[in-house]
């Protein structure tokens, strides 16, 4: 594509010849813009009509019912599907997996970036790296259900660690109001097990982490770990526990790092990274997850 003229090159021309040159450049720009729009149109229509025999987004869309559907959700949904999926037919399990992730709460389905980041990263890690999968912070079990799906597909163990009774009083942080203190108590292990499913590789680690860690979990190595505990103490203990047990190529996803809603999560990751001299990437999901790769 030709270079786009800068503002200063478009000021009043010194001569007729300069004016003609500017008009020519503008015509080129317009033609480029038209080509760009045509290419985008074509891409959307390929996605929508399934012209290459890949996944039809319209089909997937019509099977979804978002409870909190803003006006433009459909357009946003189309834009947020990775090309690998919409045009090249990869990740054909997406509908099944996102249904696991949304169980009982359709609103979670709007966090496309989180769903896709989990899917792409766990598949990437498990394809390249040996070791188990774990989630610290299971709550109702929807994200664990997604992870357990892939643990089963790649024949790995899946550790699911939670108090299953929310935060304990000794964990409360200064800035936690009554709402946060009372969060996540409306669950039982049995309900979470129903949501996650009964893959025989699942290992339920019930109680306060890290005291809850079993010998099997301590002796294992890991390929993919999700840490989603919201507050400082379990997150930093989780990083300290899992990081040395990650196989090269393994990935740790820490939820809530960048949301601002849970400052303890940000502090735990920053302290850990500074101490171990490691770094990671930020994701643009609702809660600003942080990705550490071993
Ligand atoms: C935000 S929820 C997890 C949500 C879940 N990952 C999802 O996306 O569906 C946070 C969970 O962390 C758990 N948790 C917090 N501190 C913990 C600790 N020290 N040991 C075990 N679980 C803990 C809470 O009980 C709560 O269920």
Q: Is the CB of 142 under 6 A from ligand 1?
A: yes
Predicted local confidence at residue 73, as pLDDT: 62
Could you read off the pLDDT of 209-218 as tens digits, one per residue?
999 999 999 9
Q: Is the CB of 232 under 6 A from ligand 1?
A: no
The predicted model gives 277-291 an average pLDDT of 96
- What's 241's domain CATH number? 3.40.50.150
75 domain-assigned: no
pTM of this structure: 0.78
Do 26 and 160 share a domain, yes or no? no
Is the omega angle on the peptide bond into residue 19 within 30 degrees of 0, that is, cis?
Answer: no
77 domain-assigned: no
With the C-alpha atoms ordered 111, 59, 148, 279, is the resulting torsion angle positive or negative?
Answer: negative
Atom of ligand 1 nearest to the CA of 135: 6
Distance (Å) from CA 162 to ligand 1 centroid:
6
Do 140 and 17 share a domain, yes or no? no
Do 25 and 123 share a domain, yes or no? no
Do 166 and 24 share a domain, yes or no? no
Q: Is the CB of 148 under 6 A from ligand 1?
A: no
Could you read off the pLDDT of 200-244 as tens digits, one per residue?
999 999 999 999 999 999 999 999 999 999 999 999 999 999 999
Q: How does residue 248 score in pLDDT terms, banded at 50, 70 and 90?
A: very high
Do 32 and 126 share a domain, yes or no? no
Task: Residue 154: name the closest of 185, 125, 183 by CA.
Answer: 125
Helix (H, G, I), strand (E, B) or coil at 33: helix
Cβ-contact 234, 264 below 8 angstroms: no
Q: How far apart are CA 293 and CA 279, in angstroms?
A: 8
Q: Is the CB of 289 under 6 A from ligand 1?
A: no
Could you read off the pLDDT of 12-70 as tens digits, one per residue?
556 667 777 777 777 777 777 776 666 666 555 545 444 444 555 566 555 554 444 55
Atom 22 (ligand 1) nearest CA: 162
Do 45 and 130 share a domain, yes or no? no
Atom of ligand 1 nearest to the CA of 161: 21
Average pLDDT, the chain: 85
Q: How far apart are CA 257 and CA 275, in angstroms?
A: 17
Q: State the total domains in the chain.
A: 2
């Amino acid at each position: 594509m030709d270079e786009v003229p800068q503002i200063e090159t478009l000021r009043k021309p010194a001569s007729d010849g300069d004016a003609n040159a500017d008009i020519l450049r503008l015509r080129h720009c317009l033609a480029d813009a038209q080509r760009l729009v045509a290419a985008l149109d074509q891409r959307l229509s390929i996605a929508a009509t399934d012209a290459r025999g890949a996944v039809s987004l319209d089909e997937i869309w019509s099977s979804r019912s978002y409870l909190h559907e803003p006006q433009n959700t459909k357009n946003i949904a189309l834009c947020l599907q990775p090309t690998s999926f919409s045009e090249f037919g990869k990740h054909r399990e997406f509908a099944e997996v996102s249904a696991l992730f949304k169980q009982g709460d359709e609103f979670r389905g709007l966090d496309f970036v989180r769903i896709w980041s989990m899917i792409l990263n766990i598949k990437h890690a498990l394809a390249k790296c040996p070791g188990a999968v774990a989630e610290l912070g299971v709550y109702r079990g929807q994200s664990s259900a997604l992870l357990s799906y892939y643990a089963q597909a790649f024949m790995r163990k899946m550790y699911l660690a939670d108090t299953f009774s929310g935060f304990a009083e000794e964990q409360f942080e200064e800035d936690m109001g009554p709402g946060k203190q009372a969060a996540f108590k409306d669950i039982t292990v049995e309900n979470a097990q129903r949501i996650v499913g009964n893959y025989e590789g699942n290992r339920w680690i019930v109680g306060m982490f890290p005291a809850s860690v079993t010998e099997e979990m301590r002796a294992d190595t890991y390929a993919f770990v999700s840490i989603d505990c919201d507050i400082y103490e379990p997150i930093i203990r989780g990083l300290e526990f899992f990081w040395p047990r990650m196989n090269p190529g393994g990935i740790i996803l820490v939820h809530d790092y960048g949301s601002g809603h849970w400052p303890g999560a940000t502090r735990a990751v920053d302290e850990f990274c500074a101490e171990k001299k490691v770094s990671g990437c930020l994701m643009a999901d609702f809660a600003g997850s942080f990705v550490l790769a071993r």
